[in-house]
Amino acid sequence: MRVLFSAPKSDWNDYRDVLTNALERAGIKAEIVYAIMPDDPGSIDYIIYAPSSEMEDFTPFTGAKAVLNLWAGVEGLVTNASLTQPLARMVDPGLTEGMVEWCTAHTLRHHLGTDRDVCRQNDSWDFYVPKLARDRSVTVLGMGTLGRAVGTSLAALNFQVTGWSRTLKDVAGVACLAGEEGLAKALTSAEILILLLPLTKATENVINAERLQLLPKGAVLINPGRGPLINDDDLIAALASGQLSHATLDVFREEPLPEGHVFWANEKITVTPHVASATRASSAVDVLVENIRRGEAGQPFLHLVDRSQGY
């Protein structure tokens, strides 16, 4: 069996040893090929792929049984007409844990108002009593693996959590809504709004001027999902008017965020460098190896992408 690892050198350095060891533990004998385009691409059985790879043409891989994405996001792959093999996205337990921790940290930051203490410009004694979590409404848009995990974790802290998704889900501790009317209702109660939707034609600019006006005055927006979920101009206007009090953004339309971008200078925006949902090789290799095992056993692959839906 031949497995192509098509990703930048930094990814290969992270995965080379742990992937080799994981395959050995699973009893899978495989030659791992690191290349942009290997010799005899038709002999490749599986492609482990990062969308940042220089390889974009999947046509030569006539024998490939699956493309196993290293990233959770697949928006750059579902439109690639040369990719006809089954495509599996990365659902990594470590990635999920990291997303839960990042979202919880920033939710608590805004819920408790810790900036007023940490970033205080004088020595005045500014006593205040923050709300308890049970009195704070948080809405999570997107009830996939990440959204469900974030929603249930915040509910465990006693936040009033509402979750919205395209199709209605049942998530313990989360008030789940769906559809256009459900979206409006979910936004109306969102003192803190967390975006964990996939990027598709239907979700691009889902947060626009009209929907921002549905939020409670002074709401906070947290986006660790995808940059184009938000209309940037409408976001800036909502912050300027006070409709939004703050936006914490981990993802952007262009990454890295360019020097001189308006977001850098806006005191109501926190920029983090796309760190909320990092895939960790130590846990991701188990997902990759399990899908290779399934492919060899003739079993269904995990986390297959529905290309008609875009995720």
The tens-digit pLDDT sequence of the chain (311 residues) is 999 999 999 999 999 999 999 999 999 999 999 998 999 999 999 999 999 999 999 999 999 999 999 999 899 899 999 999 999 999 999 999 999 999 999 999 999 999 888 766 666 777 889 999 999 999 999 999 999 999 999 999 999 999 999 999 999 999 999 999 999 999 999 999 999 999 999 999 999 999 999 999 999 999 999 999 999 999 999 999 999 999 999 999 999 999 999 999 999 999 999 999 888 999 999 999 999 999 999 999 999 999 888 88
The reported pTM is 0.90
Instruction: Assess contact for 59 and 82: CB atoms under 8 A.
Output: yes
Indicate which residues carry an active-site annotation.
226, 274
Question: What are the tokens at 228?
Answer: 């184009």
Q: What CA–CA distance (Å, rounded) separates 45 from 5?
A: 11
| pLDDT, the chain, mean | 95
Contacts of range 284-287, beta carbons closer than 8 Å, 24 or more positions apart: 284/15, 284/70, 284/90, 284/92, 284/94, 284/95, 285/15, 285/18, 285/19, 285/22, 286/22, 287/90, 287/91, 287/92
Tokens of 233: 């101009």
> Domains along the chain?
2-92+279-297 (3.40.50.720), 93-271 (3.40.50.720)
Q: Going by C-beta distance under 8 Å and a sequence separation of 6 or more, which residues neighbour residue 180? A: none
Contact predicate 41/12, CB 8 Å: no
- Residue 277 per-residue DSSP state: T
